[in-house]
Structure 1
């Protein structure tokens, strides 16, 4: 038993390492969680990172689909030897069992990430919001259940809107990298309202029409953020820290409204001290 616990401790430590390296915003936010619960959040975040990076580590979509299928089976068959040998899989399946969490949220995340394997355009705002809920809101549904198992169903409404705002902000920040590899998450219905097509959004030219389309994209993110902020205070105090990463959306969105903003060149980052300050203020305000 002690050897098993030691191995699991190492798995959780590995999860924290990759979250701290590759998702520093969520890692900083996790410092405001109760110390005994942090590693369980790290496991969920590490799982999300592993799924999100699949396109980057495969040479063709079919190989990505094979990886996704492995992860689906890992969630459904956690006692397999190859699952126990993978530190992220071992940790995240332990979290699901330990807190009796529904695996459906993570299965939906995997399914949505299949979109990332291809360069197909996002057709509509509805499709974009569904993608954001599956890839981001699902994590914000699960983390509060670790902190407060009695989180009411209203928490899922906060998670839906907050997670959507967080995902949309992240997609805007990643716009230069996505465009460089031919991907575009700005929905066609937004682009066409401004006289654009998908090719214009990956052209490398920051036209006034494209800037207007991205402004509409930011307005969509803010609309979800505003709804989230009306719902956070209705949640149990113990559950609220799970939503802290969302407080970084507004300062990131403001950075994309400056006169020097170029969606193809601007690296939208906040100094660590500003992120820590925003997280600290939100933690105090949401208590």
Structure 2
């Protein structure tokens, strides 16, 4: 155990291990206060990202999100500090002088998850990914650099969009079953995708073409990341480590292309361990491109 059971750190770590295993693995390459801070950050993210699975309809989700907004802005020593994740993330924010705006923006972006509204455009999807996935990488890099600006904003931006698009493509079968669609409307319209067929689980050539386009877009963001990743501070590397799983997963998504609505794509835990370990050691030797 990295923290005693019953502590905020232990609770956060358990939450991340259960619901965000990829980022949990990246914690193996951190230690001390940085590990505790990242555990708190990723646990906070899971509290927000899992809202739709926890609440029965959007209104309780909106109330839950407002509680978190109020919690982030509560004065020091407030009762909310007794909540294991709230107390841990508030302590992390204070210890690293992190700005509150990115946390609030993340919550605001996740309101989209509570409803079945369509994602209008590719620009909207990239904006959503930036406010949820990219910001998490940037905040993690700041924690690893003890609150300093690590100069990783652009790299985090592209990394987060690639990571988020890959995750949404993997979750396409599950989202379609509950009539939720993150695929951008302008891209679907360009290929003539029938949304009702998607919700019915019927894969069409038009849908496969749209998925192929999104895979290519994710890869373009990975290419942009590779152009910027060489200047990453060494201590910020663990913030980017989960992104090294993106390329292998995109390759598997392409292989499942015959039926993207009914095939689940993942890597085994052992494969994930190996990919992160290999990327970590190459990155420490100066080969930052191994992360992407």
Aligned to 1:89: 86
- Deviation above 3 Å: which 4+ runs of structure 1? 6-9, 78-82, 149-154
Aligned to 2:124: 127
Aligned to 2:164: 167
Aligned to 2:176: 179
Q: 2:185 aligns with which of 179, 183, 188?
A: 188
Indicate the larger mover: 186-195 or 79-88. Answer: 79-88
Supply the distance in 2 between the matched residues of 1:97 and 1:197 (Cα, whole angstroms).
Answer: 48
Do the aligned partners of 1:75 and 1:93 also contact (CA within 8 Å) in 2? yes
Aligned to 2:102: 105
Do the aligned partners of 1:166 and 1:249 also contact (CA within 8 Å) in 2? yes
Q: 1:284 Cα deviation (Å)?
A: 1.9
Q: Structure 2 vs 1, CA of residues 48 and 264 (structure 1 numbering), >3 Å: closer, same or farther?
A: same
Equivalent position SS for 2:29: coil
For residues 233-271 of structure 1, the C-alpha deviation after alignment (integer angstroms, 9 at most, x for no partner) is 112111122110000001111111115752222121101
Supply the distance in 2 between the matched residues of 1:280 and 1:135 (Cα, whole angstroms).
Answer: 25
Aligned to 1:142: 139
Q: 1:103 Cα deviation (Å)?
A: 1.4
Do the aligned partners of 2:138 and 2:156 also contact (CA within 8 Å) in 1? yes
Supply the distance in 2 between the matched residues of 1:57 and 1:152 (Cα, whole angstroms).
Answer: 34
What TM-score do the two structures reach when normalised by structure 2?
0.91
Supply the distance in 2 between the matched residues of 1:286 and 1:277 (Cα, whole angstroms).
Answer: 14
Q: Trace 1:151-230 onto structure 2 (pairs within 5 A).
A: 152=149, 154-230=151-227
Aligned to 1:3: none
Q: 1:200 Cα deviation (Å)?
A: 3.3
What TM-score do the two structures reach when normalised by structure 1?
0.93
Q: Trace 1:224-239 onto structure 2 (pairs within 5 A).
A: 224-239=221-236
Supply the distance in 1 between the matched residues of 2:217 and 2:70 (Cα, whole angstroms).
Answer: 35
What is the CA RMSD across the aligned residues, in angstroms? 1.9
Q: 1:69 Cα deviation (Å)?
A: 0.4
Indicate the larger mover: 246-255 or 33-42. Answer: 33-42
Equivalent position SS for 1:83: helix
Q: 1:100 Cα deviation (Å)?
A: 0.6
Aligned to 2:72: 75
Do the aligned partners of 2:198 and 2:261 also contact (CA within 8 Å) in 1? no
Supply the distance in 1 between the matched residues of 2:197 and 2:117 (Cα, whole angstroms).
Answer: 14
Q: Structure 2 vs 1, CA of residues 226 and 78 (structure 1 numbering), >3 Å: closer, same or farther?
A: farther
Q: 1:114 aligns with which of 108, 111, 115?
A: 111
Q: How many residues align?
A: 282
For residues 131-159 of structure 1, the C-alpha deviation after alignment (integer angstroms, 9 at most, x for no partner) is 00001111111111111147556300011
Q: Trace 1:22-101 onto structure 2 (pairs within 5 A).
A: 22-79=19-76, 81-101=78-98
Q: 2:269 aligns with which of 263, 267, 272?
A: 272
Do the aligned partners of 2:52 and 2:113 also contact (CA within 8 Å) in 1? yes
Supply the distance in 1 between the matched residues of 2:29 and 2:107 (Cα, whole angstroms).
Answer: 28
Supply the distance in 1 between the matched residues of 2:120 and 2:164 (Cα, whole angstroms).
Answer: 17
Q: Structure 2 vs 1, CA of residues 248 and 277 (structure 1 numbering), >3 Å: closer, same or farther?
A: same
Question: Structure 2 stretches of 5 or more lacking a match?
Answer: 285-292
Supply the distance in 2 between the matched residues of 1:21 and 1:7 (Cα, whole angstroms).
Answer: 17
Aligned to 2:8: 11
Supply the distance in 1 between the matched residues of 2:257 and 2:215 (Cα, whole angstroms).
Answer: 17
